[in-house]
Amino acid sequence: MRADTLAATVPPGAWARLSAGRGAKGHRYYDWAWVSLTADSGQHWLLIRRHLRHGELAFYRCYSPTPVRLGELVRVAGRRWTIEESFQAGKGLAGLDEHQVRRWLAWRRWTLLAMLAHALLAVIAATQRAQHPPPEGLIALTCNEIRHLFTELITKPTRRLTNPHAWSRWRRHHQHQARACHYRRQQTQLT
């Protein structure tokens, strides 16, 4: 049976509005439903995600050796976004996709160095957040911001025309304001 045919059989009361995790603009809320699939052993489901505004459907085939709750399946499905975001960050911050190699060994070395660079930025950001929480009205230092400061302060210190610390503070303040606006708008749409 096709997934969209199964989705059409879901009664309107079976949909639950759950968050698939936090995104850049707040929680990522969708309507979720699940349909049990016949299997020999374990638990098989078709997890269905429906977009709140335009009703677009996405499907996940799920398996668990023991029964789980819908919220747990939604949490695991929401991890996909985090993984994709990590790949995009690796490409943008550490040049993961900027290799010009033709052989396996060279590609492996490039990928390893890019992943190490991204891991270094992530560790610095996490350490900074834990040891020095951001002041009121600023977001915490992000990997993007640390990379920008590293570039401005370390790799090209003689060409500096402005104060990178002041620029970073200004940018983080505006990012904080944008995040707060997104969260307020999201709350008004949910109520």
pLDDT higher for 41 or 93? 93
Average of pLDDT values for 89-99?
85
* Extents of the domains making up the chain: 3-87, 105-190
User: CA nearest 73: which of 52, 37, 44?
Assistant: 44
What pairing do the DSSP bridges indicate for beta strands 26-37 and 16-23? antiparallel
Among the residue ranges 76-85, 100-109, 129-138, 182-191, the one predicted with the least confidence is 182-191
Q: At what angle do helices 143-150 and 70-94 cross, to 10 degrees?
A: 10
Average of pLDDT values for 104-122?
90
Sign of CA dihedral 179, 180, 181, 185: positive
For 175, the token pair is: 């990012």
- Full-model pTM: 0.60
* 145-165: pLDDT as tens digits: 888 888 877 777 666 556 777
Average of pLDDT values for 8-24?
87
* 35-91: pLDDT as tens digits: 888 666 668 888 999 998 898 999 999 888 888 899 999 999 988 888 888 888 888
pLDDT score recorded for residue 159: 61
pLDDT-above-70 percentage for the chain: 93
